[in-house]
Amino acid sequence: MNKKDIVSLSFDELKIEMESIGEKAFRAKQIYEWIHVKLVDSFDEMTNLSKAHREKLAEIFTISNMAEADRLVSRIDETRKYLFTLPDGEYVESVLLSYKHGYSVCLSTQVGCKMGCKFCASTIAGFKRNLTPSEMLSQIYTAEKDSGRKISSIVMMGIGEPLDNYDNVIKFLNLVSCPEGNNMSLRHLSLSTCGLVNRINDLSEHKFGLTLSISLHAANNKQRSEIMPVNDKYDINELISACKNYIKKTGRRISFEYALINGVNDSRETANELISLLRGMNCHVNIIPVNKIKERNYKTDTSSVRKFQHYLEEGGINATVRRTLGSDINAACGQLRREYEI
């Protein structure tokens, strides 16, 4: 018998499951708290349940766990990079980041990625499968237990395209914000997408309150299609229209991610195009020095970063430069997994 993934069940689903096996509905609250608040790894740790009840649960359900295959700790800051082995032998990464306001986890949503962005290590080995809601949650729970720190924010910017795993991501968002469990405000969560317009429109209907980050990286279709194949399906005009719709429906500001690539998208002319594209929108631009990966020849000229920021701000666009964390351990997602799979 295939056991059910109890960690991926919503609180309401768990209540129904308890009733279906002849247990009182209040048991769901106890079990849900053990899993999502006390972060247990097995039913045996649920000490306020009888041994017979724990054994019954173990026969029907499973608490999915990830095995830690590797962990790198930065000597520069408190960044920790984790490589996990999944039950089917696949690998996935997540990163624990330390900020003045607290601790954040950058988590993965897929094993590999279909999107083919030229500057990204995650896509080089191709796509294997989607992560389940429990596998996304496990990245957070493992980082909390390993570090002894409470995670106060989440960035869904690891391996994979979150909106390509739409149903599981929506369930994850509901689980991580559930009052009976982790109870995280989704205002402390950022979801990054390369621009799946249909799913951006779907997401806007939920009004989650999260920060939507768009991987833009170019200001015109020719330039964007060269580095992001998704632009051939959803071009910049469609994408910007979906973003404006998202802002209107949710009232939330959008963040545009912009990986600055030397000689590709870092000119004054490109900055002017970007200003024209985004003018009047409730947004800001996050300029990202591109990460070096051995399979690609992309790099960022350090001197051009502040220049580009100045161009945008001069044109009335709010712009920041992403702080680089864990540079001594290649903390950008996808690189450690590649080393294990090669």
Which active-site residues does the annotation give? 93, 333
Which residues fall within 8 angstroms of residue 15, CB to CB, at 6 or more apart? 25, 28
Quote the CA–CA distance of 155 and 188 in Å, as a whole number.
9
What secondary structure letter does DSSP report for 221? H
CB count in 10 Å sphere of residue 244 = 15
Which residues fall within 8 angstroms of residue 311, CB to CB, at 6 or more apart? 268, 271, 272, 275
HSE-CB at 178 with a 13 A cutoff on CA atoms is 23
Residue 246 identity: Y
CA–centroid distance for 272 within its chain: 30
What token pair was written down for 252?
């939330």
Asked whether the beta carbons of 102 and 166 are under 8 A apart, the reply is: no
Burial class of 261 by CB neighbour count within 10 A (0 to 12, 13 to 18, 19+): buried
What secondary structure letter does DSSP report for 123? G
Which residues fall within 8 angstroms of residue 273, CB to CB, at 6 or more apart? 219, 220
**Where are any strands of DSSP class E within 261-341?**
283-289, 319-321
As a residue count, the chain comes to 342
Which residues fall within 8 angstroms of residue 252, CB to CB, at 6 or more apart? 209, 210, 211, 212, 246, 282
